Every structure is written in structure tokens, then in C-alpha cells.
Structure 1
């Protein structure tokens, strides 16, 4: 009997897992942005001593996972499952990172929604009694993503103003069956939404419909409304997607203008850093959540947050074949306290 289901797409966790440790590692550009004081490690060189951007990304994710475990005063041997993914073909950054860690591993692909996807699955595993300690993580790298999805950097292609800057970095969260919070209390799993956008430089437009669908369903399932949250934040819709979301959510009867933001807008100063529409990539939601949001919750400045990580589920092959870009968005509620 599915007694934990609430409405059509939401789960209310009976024993909400506690976040007991986080870590965020970012590249030099991210370390120059508005959130620089919230990150654990800021790299001086986005290669980080490696031979390629892809190897650098794997190392960044590995070190973020190890740091999160250390921040939870634990060792990798204490962790029962690792949930992680990334943007690269066959999620190679995550697999090579997991190779070094020797933790039982679930490899995930949710594109830029992976942070919320990993938190969702990790929380449900703990709530279901299948584990006590898990790590949820993801990563991305500007240079590895650009040459996979768009053009090699050497090509010097001009970026349209709707384009977003893939965040270089990784974020990791340790979830536990015991702890003093913050806690993951609700999970709303998204559905694929595809309105026919084919432009790989318009991720905000491609992902916004999925975010709108998931947020609306979350409110319907839980009975919450926007005012019940101190912060509602999407993963990486950036400026283009944010405008679409605010307009269409208002048509759905939800005014998010007071407490809504987007990780892709918060992580960069779009004017000073020339990131056009804003940030994107798996690490966008991951480092903002594990850096800024978590630390603000621990300070008591945020008590309830709705994190909606959004992903564009396309590939270089599908783009070349003229396919449109499916979008997905997963939402998790994080509460500082639970009753």
C-alpha cells in the first residue's frame, strides 16, 4: 500500500532524512561571482592539475564527495550508497569518481536536474529503511560541456544572449536517517515536458515548462502555496526561463514574485561576468544548494526551501537529427525543523 503518496506526483517522507554534511567546489569564474563566500573550495585553475577538462571534472566531483563525507565527520566506509551523475556521455565523470571511492553506486542521468534527482532517490532509500547514510552528488564543467553539446572552445563561436554559462564545479550532500536537520520532507517527481524547442542555446525556454508543471503539481499535491516557503528556487532557468516561469505560474494562479529565484541567476553577475542569460549545468543547482542554501538554513535565515532542479534531456546526436529538447524538473522540500 502506497501510504506515503500525496496527490499525483508527490511523496511525503514518514521519516525525513537529515542533511548532515555538504560540500561545494567551484571554478575560478564561479569563485568571482556573488556567492563566492559560500563555497568550500574555489579553484585557481579549472584543469586542477589534470590532462583534460573531463578528468578535471571527475576529480572535482570526487573531492566534493570526500569533503562532504569529511564535513559529516564520517569516512567513505560509513556510506552505504552513492547517487551521482553528470552531463557527459555515459556519465563518465561520475563513474570515474565512483571508481576511486569504492562506495556502492547508482549512476544517474537527469542532466541539470540531477542534484534534485539524487536527493529524491537518496531520501526515499533512507525513508524506506534500505540505508542509513547516503551521498548525493553531481558535477559539470564549462569546457567539457561546451565541446560535447555545442562547439569546441577553440572554434570561437559567438554565443547568443539566450545562452547560459555552464557552471564548473561539483556539489555533494550526505543524508542520514538521524540528525538535527535540515530535513528533506517532500519529493515531487517531474514529468517530461517538451514544447518543441530545438535551439541548444535556449535551455531556459526548453526547461521552463517542466518546472512550471512540477511546481504547480507540488502545490496541488501538498496543499502548500508560495507563501509557505522562504525561498522557491529553480536550478538553471536563468533570465529567459525565469520570465517564462513567473508569467505562466501567475496564469496557473500562483504568484511567485516575492520569494522566487534561480540558481543560474544567483551564481553569476551577468553584467560584470558576461554570462548572458546566466548559469546552467548540473553543478549550478548543486553548488548553490550545497553552498548558499544549506549555509543560510544553518544560520537560520531560511527555514523552508523548495528546490526545483531542471534538466534538458537532449544529446549531441538528437540535436543533429533535428529533435526537440525534452525538459524535466524534480522538486524537493527542505525544512530546517520537522514536527
Structure 2
């Protein structure tokens, strides 16, 4: 029997049985709750420690809460879920695996750096489209304090932050995919390629990730035949102010102008001037909470009908940085559409 090839072009899969995002939950820290998108988040923490004894344990608790609440909103139990796809920034994705141990759900642990929301959503959607699951959860998280002491300096060090630096978002987003109901659908998945233009500055990750974002977006257009104006919003993950501008210029070199549609989750989650977040937000939780909060709720209200979510990741580690390595970037794109019916 000949199998149907669902791949179109070089990097994109068209989903014949588009899974639907039937519920989401977003949880953010106090600083994110003071930002311009506060009304869209489901939970805003007063204490980013969540009563735990470490930032890392607090991050895992955030993810557990996001997943639990997304299941509750979908009127589902953990035994209804076929798979959990999740990852985070911490060594050996401990936030995800420690949250997963509290659920009786088969678990795929992922690492895509800050691209993990789109990565988990991509793989969950493909599993659903293939008929291998009835319900799947995709989730991710990040925490400012846990990320700072792993990738840069302990908070007590009081290091000065350059204008190119970004503020890791404290937050977790989870969503549940199903097949029934009038909900936003996943129609295309464009998997990114690792791109490295030689950037070494860990305080300028926007520049490191911009080439990957540009490459994925351009190839999405080429593979699908779509144009920028076919989307209400093209949302990159966490390029920040500097990376977003660089990505726009790179994309223009390929003959596409996305400036009217392009927003960057890292640029809009904070008021960079008032909150002193310099180039904007970053982290796995950045695109996760902006999508599960801000964008999903606008899709459900039919204020917007078609979104291209392009979460972006800097594939660095403390080991690679200490060895003088450059910072490769990755970006994955997922097309999400709300039926007009």
C-alpha cells in the first residue's frame, strides 16, 4: 500500500486532519503581570517562588499548574491524554520531567531552547494528524531567576546588562489538542533548520536567532505558496527589538515584507522602557504565554483568524559558551487558523 506523502516543499507538512486547540492556560510572574498583556494571562503570580525552596522547583510547579488547568478547562482527566510533549531551558529539562512525574501521561521530553513551544506543538500536531492520539498536551516554561544563574550570572552578582540583552520571561503555557469543536486548528507545520551566523554574545540572542527565524518564515512561504498578507499576525518567539528588526531585513532580502503582520512576543510582553527590559523578553515561556494567553484568546473571539507562530531558540549551553563556540539558532513555524463558521 502506498502511503500518502503529506510533506509539501522542503520543510513543511500540511495536516489533512487538522487538530484543534481546545483549551490553553497561561501563568506568569509578577513582572510579566505588570506588562501590557496582563489582561490576557490566566494566572499572575504574586511570588515567583510559589512557596518553593528554589527557583527551579518553582518553575516545575508553574508547568504542573499550567498543564493541570488546561486539562480542567478542556473537561479532561490526565487519563484522557495520550501524550505530553514538553521541554524547558534547564539542564536535562528538569522542569518538564519533574512536572511530568506528577501525571500518569506518556511523556516526550524536548529541547529546542526558546523554540520549544512551536516544537512541542509541531510534534503534537503531527501525532494527532496521523491518528495516533485522541488528545495531546503541549507545554513549556521558563523562569528569569533559574535561567540567569544557569546561563549567565547568579542574581547576587549584580551584573550590568547591555542594551542588546533580554529579560527571560517567568511563565508557563500549556495547551490541549483534540479533534472536536469550533476551535483554532493547526493546518501547517514548517520545521526549521539550524542556522549559525557566528554570533557569540550571549547577551545578544536576538541577533543569533534572527537568521533562523527568517529562514523558516521564507521557506514556509515558498512551501505553501502563501504570502505575508495571508496572515493576520506572524508572531516570532523572542527575537526582541533588535532581533525582530534584523529578521525583517533578512526576509526582505528574499522578496517578502512581513512588517505589517510581524509582532515579536519578546517585544510586546513587556513595556521595555518603563520596565527596563532593554531589548525585550526571552525564554521558552515567552512565546508560550503570549500565544496561550494573548493570541489564543483573540483567535477564539475571532478578532484574528490566521496566525503563524514562529518560536525561536538559541541553541547554546554554558559548556559551549565556555569553549568559545558560536550560538546556533532554530525556529519552527506553526500555522493556526480559526474557522469563520
CA distance in 1, matches of 2:195, 2:253: 18
Aligned residue in 2 for 1:302 = 304
Shift of 1:259: 1.2
Deviations 1:228-255 (A, max 9, x none): 0000010000101011011111111011
Aligned residue in 2 for 1:32 = 34
Shift of 1:2: 4.9
Deviations 1:189-232 (A, max 9, x none): 00000011111001100000000000000000000000000000
Alignment of 1:76-95 (within 5 A): 76-95=78-97
| Candidates 278, 287, 291, aligned match of 2:289 | 287
Does structure 1 residue 154 correspond to structure 2 residue 192?
A: no
CA distance in 2, matches of 1:108, 1:9: 19
CA contact (8 A) 2:305 2:340 kept: no
Deviations 1:8-42 (A, max 9, x none): 00000000000100000000000000000000000
Shift of 1:108: 0.3
Alignment of 1:109-258 (within 5 A): 109-258=111-260
CA contact (8 A) 2:184 2:339 kept: yes
Shift of 1:338: 8.1
Aligned residue in 1 for 2:13 = 11
Aligned CA distance change for structure 1 residues 196 and 2 (closer, same or farther; 3 Å):
farther
Deviations 1:108-155 (A, max 9, x none): 000000000000000000100110100000000000000000000000
Q: What is the DSSP-based 3-state SS (H/G/I as helix, E as strand, rest coil) of the residue aligned with 2:235?
A: strand
5+ residue gaps, structure 1, are none
CA distance in 2, matches of 1:257, 1:168: 28
Q: What is the DSSP-based 3-state SS (H/G/I as helix, E as strand, rest coil) of the residue aligned with 2:272?
A: coil
CA distance in 2, matches of 1:182, 1:73: 17
CA distance in 2, matches of 1:185, 1:280: 26
| Candidates 61, 65, 68, aligned match of 2:67 | 65
Q: Which moved more, 1:25-34 or 1:179-188?
A: 179-188
CA contact (8 A) 1:198 1:325 kept: yes
CA contact (8 A) 1:19 1:179 kept: no
Shift of 1:278: 0.1
Does structure 1 residue 42 correspond to structure 2 residue 37?
A: no
Count of residues paired in the alignment:
339
Shift of 1:257: 1.4
CA contact (8 A) 1:183 1:338 kept: no
Q: What is the DSSP-based 3-state SS (H/G/I as helix, E as strand, rest coil) of the residue aligned with 2:26?
A: strand
Q: TM-score, normalised by structure 1?
A: 0.99
CA distance in 2, matches of 1:2, 1:311: 31
Shift of 1:181: 1.7
Q: Which moved more, 1:98-107 or 1:134-143?
A: 98-107
Aligned residue in 1 for 2:98 = 96
CA distance in 1, matches of 2:108, 2:4: 24
CA distance in 1, matches of 2:340, 2:328: 35
Does structure 1 residue 331 correspond to structure 2 residue 330?
A: no
Q: TM-score, normalised by structure 2?
A: 0.98
